[in-house]
């Protein structure tokens, strides 16, 4: 396990890019072999829209990396953070506790907040506008939302005292789960249901992409589903066929399939969905 942390401590961006591209290729192949839904859409154009957001994200992440590394260095110099305070842990405990806490603060918490703070929701809504959720949908995030998540990841690093190797391991696993949980793949129930008690599975996350409340405001998990079970934010659907992707306030193609409009949604007048979310 220590060798894994050492590897990720000095991992190069090209290697991480290879991991990301390999994951996308794997799930694109599985989508063709065992699709959950047979969706009638231009897959190439759809991928082009979502990948465009990734290019913007890469630029933001260059600055975000400086913020995260600064948080790691601060902890290293001052020996603060939960993992420092609990003392010498077995390496496997250090990794598990670190990953679980990074996931809670750096992913679940900010995701939950985005659904409850109106001006933050207006940035996050871009992710929910996707009417054809597939492996590329995990890349569909407004640049503003990426900044929120980078800030919370840095806060998570400060609170946990995670090493750079552990942070890089977490981000690599997180990228893998973003691809896995959005992939349009069918998983047998006998595998999916027990896994969903601990990990976020494709079916578990797909419910979060149903177009209306309360499903939209549920199943916030990134890697671990335990936080949703613990905080009672789990929603279930008996039949996956009942899912309709998108968000009820932006269902027209000219809105959810235009990069220009998607970038401008946070600055447009807020639309109240049925169910009175942010009705004030």
Query: For residues 144 and 58, which has the higher predicted lDDT (pLDDT)?
Result: 144
**What value does the mean pLDDT of the chain take?**
90
Question: What pLDDT is attached to residue 60?
Answer: 84
Question: What pLDDT is attached to residue 165?
Answer: 92
Question: What pLDDT is attached to residue 239?
Answer: 85
Q: Tell me the C-alpha distance between 255 and 49, whole Å.
A: 12
Question: What pLDDT is attached to residue 254?
Answer: 86
* Cβ partners under 8 Å of residue 272, min gap 6: 249, 278, 279
pLDDT, tens digit, 9 for 90 and up, residues 159-201 = 999 999 999 999 999 999 999 999 999 999 899 999 999 999 9
Return the CA Rg of the chain. Answer: 19
Average pLDDT, integer, range 214-227: 95
Q: What is the dihedral angle through the alpha carbons of 127, 131, 133, 134, rounded to the nearest 10 degrees?
A: -110
pLDDT exceeds cutoff 80 at 55: yes
Q: Tell me the C-alpha distance between 166 and 186, whole Å.
A: 31
| 28-32, 117-121, 247-251: the lowest-pLDDT one | 247-251
Q: Tell me the C-alpha distance between 199 and 50, whole Å.
A: 25
Closest CA to 95 of 26, 22, 2: 2
- Cβ atoms of 201 and 185 within 8 Å: the answer is no
Q: Tell me the C-alpha distance between 259 and 45, whole Å.
A: 11
């Amino acid at each position: 396990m220590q060798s894994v942390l050492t590897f990720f401590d000095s991992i190069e961006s090209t290697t991480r890019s290879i991991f990301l591209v390999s994951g996308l290729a794997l799930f694109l192949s599985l989508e063709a072999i065992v699709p959950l839904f047979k969706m009638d859409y231009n897959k190439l154009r759809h991928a082009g829209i979502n990948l465009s957001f990734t290019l913007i994200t890469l630029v933001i992440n260059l600055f975000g990396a400086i913020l995260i590394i600064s948080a790691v260095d601060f902890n290293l110099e001052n020996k603060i953070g939960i993992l420092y305070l609990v003392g010498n842990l077995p390496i496997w405990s250090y990794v598990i506790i670190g990953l679980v806490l990074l996931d809670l603060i750096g992913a679940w918490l900010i995701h939950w907040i985005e659904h409850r703070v109106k001006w933050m929701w207006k940035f996050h809504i871009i992710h929910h506008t996707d009417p054809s959720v597939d492996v590329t949908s995990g890349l569909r995030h407004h640049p503003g939302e990426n900044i929120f998540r980078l800030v919370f990841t840095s806060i998570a690093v400060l609170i946990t005292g995670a090493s750079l190797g552990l942070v890089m391991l977490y981000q690599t696993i997180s990228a893998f789960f973003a691809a896995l949980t959005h992939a349009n793949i069918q998983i047998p129930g006998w595998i999916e249901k027990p896994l969903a008690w601990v990990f976020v599975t494709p079916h578990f996350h797909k419910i979060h992409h149903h177009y209306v409340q309360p499903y939209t405001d549920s199943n916030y998990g990134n890697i671990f589903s335990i936080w949703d079970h613990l905080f009672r934010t789990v929603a279930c659907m008996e039949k996956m066929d009942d899912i309709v992707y998108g968000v009820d306030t932006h269902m027209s193609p000219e809105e959810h399939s235009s990069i220009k409009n998607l970038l401008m949604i946070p600055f447009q007048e807020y639309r109240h969905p049925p169910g009175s979310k942010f009705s004030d």
